Amino acid sequence: MNEKIEPILRAENISISFGGLKALDNVSLTINPGEIFAIIGPNGAGKTTMLNVLNGFYKQDEGSIFFEGKKRSKHMKPNVIAAMGIARTFQNLALFTGMSALGNIMVGRTMKMHSNIFSQALYWGFSRKEEIEHRRAVERIIDFLQIENIRRTPASMLPYGLRKRVELARALAAEPKLLLLDEPMAGMNLEEKEDIARFVLDANEELGYTIALIEHDMGVVMDICDRIAVLDFGKKIAEGTPDEVKANPEVVKAYLGTAEG
Amino acid sequence: MAFFFEVLITGLMVGIMYSLVALGFALIFKASDVFNMAQGAMSLFAALALYGFLEQYLHLPLWLALLCTVAAMIIWAYAIVFIVLKPLVNRPPLMLFMATFGVAYLMEGIGQSIYGTQAKGLNLGIPDEMYEVAGIFISSFDLFFAGVAALLVLGLVWFFQKTRNGRALRAVSDDHEAALSVGIPLLKAWTLTWIIAGVVATVAGVAWGTRLGVQFSLSFIALKSLPVLIIGGIDSIPGVILAGLIVGACETLGEVFIGPYVGGGIQTFLPYLLALLVLYFKPYGLFGKEIVERV
């Protein structure tokens, strides 16, 4: 028997509706370790809904999710899912605005740190040592994303593009097994888009992260990702390599609104 | 002039108490968007419990009695979060507000049935001597509690700025969803916040109790800390501390220097008047975060 790669995450026949609206209809996805997987589709296709199901914000009505081969309970809370190794960013940014960039990234590392309130009170030295260790790891991420000079800036005062980067840093700080990015390039100019695309590629190639990202705009995605799933009105209409997807008439129809032949 | 400063210092001491109660409010509001009407009752209960452990039922040494009081407040924190708040997650804020009202009455009721209704004198053996500094008399008792309050605030600042759990709580207060997405458990964070609010309430309750006696009017300090919250901005912890001092100083100065002209009783309404003024000019409080909502 051929040795098959165990997918890191497998979503099977996911359906979810809000009131009468079927946001996802029987969608299945497979994300393999080490790849950049993209979910694309026009507005309202259910991309963000899918991400929210994957990280536990929404509970699917039907279908199941397997993470690292094990079926995940439908009622698992998002913080538990995060602790299992799924980190994410948000389309509309969800930084902790009351904190500095560094503070945000340190919070992202919460799950990696073990000292609790009692050890902090009773054995200060241990917590301190741990804190320093994690601070070092966080500095590496800051270096990686080239945000050294804004470490101490309150998140609320950062320009949009940098906020997106800090949010990415916060997600990376958790050293997740699977990183979910919700429109990491939304609202950016071309140069910023290329920056983020490079960081995503580097995070994948140099640091070895498995990444699933959502994009609205096909351009950049086609260049950086290994495989793509296309959603339209809550249904998956195509899945495959960028070239396969580009050639798929269904996809062309969804994006351009016309059917050929 | 010396008299003015003595009055000012008395006012600031009163203000510290307001700050502490308001601090409890602000902590819980920031972490969980709950306006905790039980904050005053928590102070009362802590003072009652300490009296119970110290004099009424058990005659424990002071340090042990204090530990037991804090333990009692921790039990309350768990009970409130898991029995009252957990079933109400994602309900409108007004419901949570009403629930804390219920908790306040419950705490007062339980307090009354365990410890009785009469006022009690709490004596912690803190010396009450007057010192003269540059012609101004200061009571050692006041100084002691000012010191304790300052230590408490510094401790909280350290906790929130430098520790993992403190950062996690700040994260929760900023953005619930984002906090969940990095793996912070909301209920645990809320419990920790209520425990901290309980400890703050203990310090406030014990300080008021030792000075004025432990009586049920203690739970009404909560009402006095409403203007403090408005002036400081409910989501700003330094703002609330400063506002407490301002309110304490203003009401005491007002009572002594303006009171005689209008027949006294200025203390009871001056803080609210100040709050109204602040609302007029700075609707989010002197230090509060301006809320800009996108439509």
CA distance A150 to A138: 14
For residue A18, give both structure tokens: 């809000």
Torsional sign, CA A40, A41, A42, A45 = negative
| Residue boundaries of the structural domains of chain B | 2-281
Cβ contact B180–A117 (<8 Å) = no
What number is the average pLDDT over the span A200-217?
A: 89
Chain B residue whose CA is closest to A116: B165
Q: Nearest CA to A177 among A1, A7, A43?
A: A7
Q: pLDDT value at position A36?
A: 93
Q: pLDDT value at position A54?
A: 92
Provide, as residue numbers in chain A, all residues whose Cβ is less than 8 Å from the Cβ of B233. none
> Nearest CA to CA, how far is B177 from chain A (Å)?
8
Provide, as residue numbers in chain A, all residues whose Cβ is less than 8 Å from the Cβ of B175. 94-97
CA distance B154 to A182: 39
Q: What is the pLDDT of residues A147-179, one digit of tens each?
A: 889 888 888 888 888 898 999 999 999 889 999
Provide, as residue numbers in chain A, all residues whose Cβ is less than 8 Å from the Cβ of B173. 98
| Residue boundaries of the structural domains of chain A | 1-85+176-261, 99-173
Please list, residue by residue across B132-159, b when 16 or more beta carbons sit within 10 angstroms of its beta carbon and e when fewer do: eeeeeebbebbbbbbebbeebbeebeeb
The DSSP secondary structure of A131-153, one letter per residue, reads HHHHHHHHHHHHHHTT-GGGTTS
Q: For A202-211, A230-239, B60-69, B213-222, which range has the lowest pLDDT when averaged over its residues?
A: B213-222
CA distance B43 to A15: 50
Cβ contact B164–A94 (<8 Å) = no
Report the CATH number of the B2-281 domain: 1.10.3470
CB pairs under 8 A between A and B: 89
Provide the ipTM.
0.83
Q: pLDDT value at position B169?
A: 86
CA distance B204 to B193: 16
10 Å Cβ neighbour count for B189?
24
CB A73 within 8 A of CB A56: no
CA distance B245 to B257: 18
Contacts of A60 (CB under 8 A, 6+ apart): A14, A15, A16, A24, A53, A74
CB B275 within 8 A of CB B230: yes
CATH among 3.40.1030.10, 3.40.50.300, 2.60.120.20, 2.30.40.10 for A1-85+176-261: 3.40.50.300
Q: Residue A87 CA to chain centroid, in angstroms?
A: 6
> Cα-Cα-Cα-Cα dihedral of A141, A220, A47, A145, to 10°?
10
Question: Is A137 touching B (CB cutoff 8 A)?
Answer: no
pTM of the model: 0.82
CA distance B86 to B187: 8
Contacts of A52 (CB under 8 A, 6+ apart): A58
Contacts of B113 (CB under 8 A, 6+ apart): none
pLDDT at A181 exceeding the cut of 90: yes
Q: What is the pLDDT of residues B125-169, one digit of tens each?
A: 777 777 777 777 778 888 888 888 889 888 888 888 878 888 888
Chain B residue whose CA is closest to A180: B181
Question: Is A176 touching B (CB cutoff 8 A)?
Answer: no
CA distance B11 to A11: 64
Give the up-direction half-sphere exposure of residue A245: CA atoms within 13 A in the CB hemisphere.
Answer: 26
CA distance A104 to B227: 32
> Nearest CA to CA, how far is B188 from chain A (Å)?
11
For residue B28, give both structure tokens: 């819980």
Q: What is the pLDDT of residues B250-288, one digit of tens each?
A: 888 888 888 778 777 777 888 888 888 888 888 777 777
Torsional sign, CA B277, B280, B286, B291 = positive
- Write down how long chain A is: 261
Q: Which residue has the higher pLDDT, B16 or A131?
A: B16
The DSSP secondary structure of B62-109, one letter per residue, reads HHHHHHHHHHHHHHHHHHIIIIIIGGGTTS-HHHHHHHHHHHHHHHHH
Q: pLDDT value at position A1?
A: 46
pLDDT at A130 exceeding the cut of 80: no
Cβ contact B181–A87 (<8 Å) = yes
**Average pLDDT along chain A:** 85
CA-to-CA separations, A130 to A110, A134, B67, in angstroms, rounded? 12, 6, 29
| Region for A13 from its dihedrals, namely left if φ exceeds 0, alpha if ψ lies in -120 to 50, beta otherwise | left
CB B114 within 8 A of CB B48: yes
Q: Nearest CA to B188 among B174, B202, B168?
A: B168
Q: Nearest CA to A239 among A212, A257, A208?
A: A212
Q: Which regions in chain B score pLDDT beneath 70?
A: 289-295
Cβ contact B181–A106 (<8 Å) = no
Please report which helix (H) or strand (E) contains residue A180, including its range. strand A178-182
Q: Which amino acid is at A136?
A: R
CB-nearest to A79 from B170, B185, B192 is B185
